[in-house]
């Protein structure tokens, strides 16, 4: 009788080489509760614009929109879709620049991992691509027991250097930056996500496109 064990062993080794070496991302510990001084501290910029968070559009644009957002929040996904729709008229024309800052909510179990992964993608210049996929595919990962496989696959889809991606994902500096963003968001007086400031004026929730455009126009051409 012929045996097929060698073939089976070879097939198993090939499978392990193809699928068994994908990195696994650890589940991060919850962000610590902030100290009262962290929440009440003054901000140096009334727009809450920073130098270490991603900016979409011309950095010299006269109007600034700073968004505090949660990747697992459905209303944040709605706002992201609205911003995609106004990109041609407001962002690409140099009128508006948009900065996203992290505000992962404790009640969203996969959100913190997603924010850390997006920050790791930022270090390879692929934040916005990662950001868009997270929001567009929110239903695919928000209920997973762990989002590790999805976050790794997304990084691979974007041709990221996986060794660097995993190393950056595990860098405590990213978590510290997320904590700074969350504390800054609380200093704005925001009550939930999404929240955003247009030239320093706070707005709450995912405004429909007509209302958002109205506010942008009013900021561009304020009444005397």
pLDDT tens per residue, range 98-135: 999 999 999 999 999 999 999 999 999 999 999 999 99
Q: In this structure, is the dihedral angle defined by the CA atoms of residues 93, 96, 97 and 102, taken in order, positive or negative?
A: negative
**In sequence order, what E strands does 103-210 have?**
195-198, 201-204
pLDDT tens per residue, range 169-186: 999 999 999 999 999 999
Closest CA to 186 of 92, 106, 85, 82: 106
All structural domains of the chain with their residue ranges = 33-220
d(CA 187, CA 189) in angstroms, rounded, equals: 5
- Looking at per-residue confidence, does 132 or 39 come out higher? 132
- Share in percent of the chain as helix, strand, coil (round to 5): 50, 10, 40
Residue with token string 């920050």: 119
Q: Which CATH architecture has domain 33-220?
A: 3-Layer(aba) Sandwich (3.40)
- Is residue 153's pLDDT more than 50? yes
Average pLDDT of span 186-199: 95
């Amino acid at each position: 009788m012929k045996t097929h064990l060698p073939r089976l062993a070879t097939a198993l080794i090939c499978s392990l080489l193809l699928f068994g070496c994908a990195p696994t991302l650890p589940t991060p510990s919850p962000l610590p509760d902030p100290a009262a001084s962290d929440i009440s501290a003054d901000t140096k910029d009334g727009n809450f614009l920073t130098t270490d968070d991603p900016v979409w559009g011309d950095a010299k644009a006269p109007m600034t929109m700073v968004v505090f957002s949660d990747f697992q929040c459905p209303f944040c996904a709605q706002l992201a879709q609205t911003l995609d729709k106004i990109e041609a008229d407001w962002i690409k024309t140099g009128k508006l620049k948009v900065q996203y800052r992290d505000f992962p909510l404790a009640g969203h179990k996969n959100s913190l991992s997603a924010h850390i992964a997006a920050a790791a993608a930022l270090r390879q210049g692929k934040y916005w691509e990662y950001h868009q996929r997270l929001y567009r595919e929110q239903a695919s990962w928000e209920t997973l027991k762990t989002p590790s496989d999805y976050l790794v696959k997304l990084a691979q889809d974007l041709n990221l250097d996986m060794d660097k991606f995993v190393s950056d994902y595990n860098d405590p500096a990213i978590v510290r930056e997320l904590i700074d963003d969350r504390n800054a968001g609380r200093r704005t007086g925001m009550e939930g996500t999404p929240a955003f400031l247009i030239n320093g004026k706070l707005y709450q929730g995912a405004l429909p496109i007509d209302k958002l455009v109205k506010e942008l126009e009013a900021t561009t051409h304020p009444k005397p």
